[in-house]
Amino acid sequence: MIINKIKTVLLLATLSGLLLMLGALFGGITGLQYAFILALIMNGIAYFFSDTIVLRLYKAQPMDSEQYSWVYATVHELTSKMGIPMPKLWIIKTPMANAFATGRNPGHASVALTTGIMDLLSKDELRGVLAHELSHIKNRDILIATIAATVATAIGYLANCLQYAAYWGSLTNGKRRANPLGLLLVAIFMPFAAMLIQLAISRSREYLADETGAYYSQDPLSLASALEKLHHNISVAHLDNNDTHRASTASLFIVYPFSARNWLKLFSTHPPLEARIAHLHKLYEKNILL
């Protein structure tokens, strides 16, 4: 688990470094401050209200505690082990088999399950999925994703300003006029680099949630089995690839909720499922969890 935590720190540091470089090119400390404040406001709103937005987007309903008493019992068992509060539980009526966790901190968290995943998985497999989602809450992944989004948004804003500056040739660097072509190249490639780093952070947190969930459930093979079933189910029941207003929430789900074309896998918010399943089997074989 420590390796993925270190990866996250290094990736966030790299992302921050890109922001500092771009801010210095645009307007020194002042340019950096303006961009960061704007990004902080935008993503701060998303941080505090993302759970309400995403649950309404998928028309989630509170999970009935009597009908799904075993789910509540499973979540209570796992949260007790993890030392986090009991989250709100939601159900989404869709044949797509998936699940996600949301909320700005463990005290304001929700876990949503689709009816598709309830029908597809066994109780042991669903317990593994719940352990994974609760791990996102324990590891404060929503906060980390918000930090990454804040920095990436600031980079995008500054890059857009640099494009205008390069076009008009009006930006100066000390006494020497900056090279417009160089600025344009920086403005184009910096946001792309920031996006790739942001996606890498998301993938590292998925690996960490798999490891943390396997540790607390003490059952990595059930999670691996669940991921394999979910992987095959996506080709049968998934979100419409043209459903752009839901694309921004794809990173929340335990598996990518769209039918992934080969070239899109390069820009996935999730690691390849085959790699995640293999990693869970290695954890079991090494017997480091039990």
Q: Which of helix, strand or coil describes residue 256?
A: coil
Q: CA-CA distance, 72 to 69, in Å (whole number)? A: 5
- Residue 196, CA distances (Å) to 7, 11, 44, 180 in order: 14, 10, 22, 25
- Residue 106, CA distances (Å) to 102, 140, 156 in order: 9, 7, 30
Which residue in the list 77, 125, 133, 274 is annotated as catalytic?
Answer: 133
Question: Which position has the token pair 């593994």?
Answer: 128
Question: Which position has the token pair 């009006």?
Answer: 170
Q: Which residues pair with 91 in a beta bridge?
A: 61, 113
| Residue 133 annotated as catalytic | yes
**What does the CA dihedral 280, 282, 287, 290 come to, rounded to 10 degrees?**
0
Quote the tokens at residue 128. Answer: 């593994």
Among all residues, which ones are annotated catalytic?
133
